[in-house]
Structure 1
């Protein structure tokens, strides 16, 4: 339950600094995004250690960084996901 509440809090606040991000095991992160937000990985990304998860139905998105130790961290979250149109904007965050 704790990870779910943590991710819920992130929906209302976004943080770009990894130090300020919520991190947990990758399996736990993916389960939370899928079960609670209906998000799935967005296809067509080249980044090795990051993944955008999004829900067309709910309009939410989450940018996740995968760490070598098996954990993942939320880098950004947002609402009003519009498919490929938003994917380019979110992927631009990776180059900042």
Structure 2
């Protein structure tokens, strides 16, 4: 169908092992909550084990505490919608909060 670009920052990038992922959408538009579910699946596929994996939180856990931007506009998880070609930024809490 098509994809969205997900840019990951700070703890989200560390948890995913990359700063950017492309996530194929199974439908468009798609709820942001569904995209996050698919993002976690995409990030876990083929990821090499991390030496300090016990200290690196899961991407799912980081996303649960993060804020999101869709094409530069803040989007609440409960109401956000993404479509093909969108850019989603995952912004974990910085500096403790």
TM-score w.r.t. the length of structure 2 is 0.31
Structure having the larger proportion of residues in helix: 1
Which structure: larger Rg? 2
- TM normalised by structure 1 equals 0.31
